[in-house]
Structure 1
Amino acid sequence: MTNQEAWRLYEKYLTAWNTTSIEERLKSANEILSENIEYQTARHDLSTGRSLVIEDMATFHERFPGGHFEIGDVSSHHNVALLTWVIIQADGKEFARGGDQITVGRNGQIIKIITFAPSVRDPN
């Protein structure tokens, strides 16, 4: 997978996060996420299933009404990519940056996502 391919796939993934339409969210998620996707975040232990990702998308809109995600950067090799996500609030101001590691299956769907919360410069 090239950086350009990873970027395009991740853009589609963020489309699902950014839409407020439940129908569009489900359509996008079903297209790009494996049904048995492995999903891990700071809030969730490693879980399996597209439904948890979709639930988190809805929670995002509850916490950040009018907000959306943008891509900060990408680095990829083989079928794995690291991408920086940026939360933009409704007022246009950046709220936070974090990262996702995605793994893509042979069928082009995302089969694993590990999400990292925003990094800190000094862990003390």
Structure 2
Amino acid sequence: MPALPTNQESAVHIDHQQIWETYTSAWKADNVDDKRALLGASLADACTYQDPLASTSGWGELMAYMANFHQQVPGGHFATRRFRYHNGQSVAQWDMLNAQGQVIGDGVSVGRYNEAGRLVTVTGFFDT
């Protein structure tokens, strides 16, 4: 007789790396509707974001910060080099790329997720 699944095995699997990649795709999206859809698929409503240059609360402030980033780095976006997840938290190592795909910076971000798999906090670390 096969073993019965544990509660953990029977729970719906959430792909936290895919959630992370959806979130980082929002940094590349160049129109507000696409950006909002990507954030809706990856962030909790009351999310917070922090890095050495900014601290935001909610989608509106984060989207404004993303728009400012695109003014400074047109076509700028991020590529995850390594992703690790456990117990509701992730660490992602990433490269910042320009519009031509050249690496112009790198960093690490820590994410915390809610039970639905949405990011509640994102904290970025990079040299300024």
- Bigger Rg over Cα: 2
Contact 1:88 1:94 in 2 (8 A): yes
Task: Give the deviation of 1:92 after TM superposition.
Answer: 2.5
Query: Which deviates more from structure 2 when the two are superposed, residues 34-43 or residues 93-102?
Result: 34-43
Find the aligned partners of 1:18 and 1:35 in 2 and give their Cα distance.
Answer: 20
Determine helix, strand or coil for the equivalent of 2:54.
Answer: coil
Determine helix, strand or coil for the equivalent of 2:100.
Answer: coil
Matched, 1:78 2:104: no
1:27-85 Cα distance to aligned partner (Å, 9 max, x none):
1112211111122211234x432222111211121111122211111122111000012
AA matched with 2:20 = Y
Find the aligned partners of 2:98 and 2:107 in 1 and give their Cα distance.
Answer: 15
TM-score, normalised via structure 2 length: 0.80
Contact 2:20 2:42 in 1 (8 A): no
1:67-117 Cα distance to aligned partner (Å, 9 max, x none):
221111112211100001211112321000111100010112101111111
Residue number among 35, 50, 53 corresponding to 1:43 in the alignment: 53
Residue number among 55, 70, 85 corresponding to 1:61 in the alignment: 70
Matched, 1:5 2:11: no
Matched, 1:19 2:29: yes
RMSD: 1.9
Find the aligned partners of 2:91 and 2:62 in 1 and give their Cα distance.
Answer: 18
Q: 5+ residue gaps in structure 2?
A: 1-13
Matched, 1:114 2:123: yes
Find the aligned partners of 1:92 and 1:31 in 2 and give their Cα distance.
Answer: 25
